[in-house]
Homo-oligomer: A and B are copies of this chain.
Amino acid sequence: MAVSEAEAIVMEVLWHAAPRSAEEILAEVGPAQGWREGTVKSLLNRLLKKKAVKAEKEGRRYLYTPLLSRDKYVSQESKGLLDRLFDGRVAPLVAHFSEQRKLSKKDIAELKKLLKELDDEQP
């Protein structure tokens, strides 16, 4: 089952640093998201059920660690979008952003560099 958007926000905290306690996670996302204790606890439980995180007892509480890697999550999400909207191909996606003028100078520079590196790999 898929990790939902709210759950992904909790995952981001754990991807950034793990293991963390529920309390630490709350401290990190609660204020920004306007979430209470119960909300974070529910999300953690759903993530446990989905096997996206694991919990290890540490004293009276649990410390949570990701089982699903950010890379894997990002891959799934990106591939989903690509397949649904761009027939699974990357160039049309970039072309879309280009048409929308959403490519920054920095993006363009980085893309050039990336392509050059690909050339160097496979001459």
Residues of B within 8 A of A97 (CB): 78, 82, 90
Report copies per complex.
2
- A111/B91 contact (C-beta < 8 A), A74-B96, A100-B75 known: yes
Tell me whether A114 and B85 are in contact in the complex, defined as CB-CB below 8 angstroms, given that A78-B93, A103-B90, A106-B91 are known contacts.
no
| Interface contact A78-B81, CB-CB below 8 Å | yes
Contact B115 A108 (CB under 8 A): yes
On whether the beta carbons of A118 and B108 are closer than 8 Å, the reply is: yes
Distance (Å) between the CB of A104 and the closest chain B CB?
A: 7
Residues in chain B near residue A37, CB distance under 8 A: none
- Asked if A23 lies at the interface with its beta carbon under 8 angstroms from chain B, I say no
Q: Give per-residue flags for A64-95: 1 if the beta carbon is below 8 A from chain B beta carbons, else 0.
A: 00000000001101110110110001111111
In the assembled complex, A8 has its CB within 8 A of some CB on chain B: yes
Give chain A's interface residues, CB within 8 Å of chain B: 5, 8, 74-75, 77-79, 81-82, 84-85, 89-98, 100, 102-104, 106-108, 110-112, 114-115, 118
9 new A-B contacts, CB < 8 A, other than A89-B106, A90-B104, are A5-B84, A75-B96, A78-B81, A78-B85, A79-B102, A90-B103, A91-B107, A91-B114, A95-B110
